[in-house]
Amino acid sequence: MKSSKLTPVVRIVDDDEKVLASEAFLVNMAGFRTSTYNSAKEFLEKDDPLFPGCVILDIRMPEMSGLQLQEEMKKREIDLPIIFLTGHGDIDMAVKALLTGATDFIVKPPEPTRLKEALAKAVAKNQSDREAAETCEEMRAQFDLLTPAEKKAAEMIALGKLNKVISFELEVSEQAVKNWRSSIFHKLNCKNIVELNAFLRKIHILND
C-alpha cells in the first residue's frame, strides 16, 4: 500500500510522562491515532516513518533536545512535519525552529482547538506531499520505459521542435522521429505536446 494511503499517526515526543499522557489524550480527542515516545532516542529507534502524520515535539528535552532531533530527522530524511511545544520562555527557540523548517509551535499547555487546527494542517500537508512524491515516482517509472533515443527525442518534442529539426540534430531519418513521437505519446499517456511538456517538467527532465 502507498504510504499516503496509510492511517496518519501523530507522534508525541516528551520526556515528562504526565505531559505525554495529557497530550496523547488531547490528540486522541481531536480524532488522531497516536504514538508516544519518552525521548528523541526512543522516537528514532522505534517509530515507523512509513506512516504519514506529524510529530509533536517538546523543544526542551535531556540528552537530545527538540531542535537537535529536528536536525537529525533532516539528516535521516524523515518526512514528517514538526509541531513544537514550548514554554513561554522558549519563544526565541521556537522561532528558530520555524526558520529551520518546523511547521508550527504552540505554547504549553496546548489549547485543544488550537492544537486540533495545527494537527489537521500538518497531517493534511504531509499526506499531500507524499501523494505528490508517489505520483512523481510513478511518472518517472513511466519515463524509464522509453528507450535512450526516445528520451532524447521526448525533450526535443516537448520543446516544440519539428520532426525534420530533430531528425537533423539526432542524425536519423524523419520517419524514425515520427515513430519515436508516436511511441513516446503512447508510453507516457500524453495526447499532445502541452501534456508532454508538463509531464517532463513534473519529473524535472525539463526545468523552467
pLDDT value at position 146?
A: 98
- By C-alpha distance, which of 31, 29, 33, 40 is closest to 10? 33
* Type and span of the H or E element at 191: none
What's at 143, amino acid-wise?
F
Note whether residue 91 is domain-resident. Answer: yes
CATH of the domain at 35: 3.40.50.2300
What residues pair up with 35 in beta bridges, in sequence order?
A: 11
- pLDDT at 86 > cutoff 90: no
DSSP 52-95: -EEEEEES--SSS-HHHHHHHHHHTT----EEEEE-GGGHHHHH
In sign, the C-alpha dihedral spanning 137, 138, 143, 145 is positive
Note whether residue 187 is domain-resident. Answer: yes
| Residue 14 domain boundaries | 3-132
Whether residue 127 sits in one domain with residue 192 = no
pLDDT value at position 59?
A: 86
Annotate 134-171 with three-state secondary structure. Answer: HHHHHHHHHHCCCCHHHHHHHHHHHCCCCHHHHHHHHC
Which of 99-113, 118-132, 146-160, 178-192 has the least mean pLDDT?
99-113
**Whether 150 contacts 184, CB under 8 Å:** yes
d(C-alpha 174, C-alpha 162), whole Å: 10
User: Per-residue pLDDT averaged across 161-174, rounded?
Assistant: 97
Whether residue 105 sits in one domain with residue 11 = yes
pLDDT in tens, 19-58: 999 999 999 999 999 999 999 999 999 999 999 999 999 9
Rounded to two decimals, the pTM is 0.81
- pLDDT at 80 > cutoff 80: yes
**Whether 177 contacts 192, CB under 8 Å:** no
Percent of the chain with pLDDT over 90: 79
- Please count the CA atoms within 13 angstroms of the CA of 51 that sit on its side-chain side: 15
Whether residue 172 sits in one domain with residue 124 = no
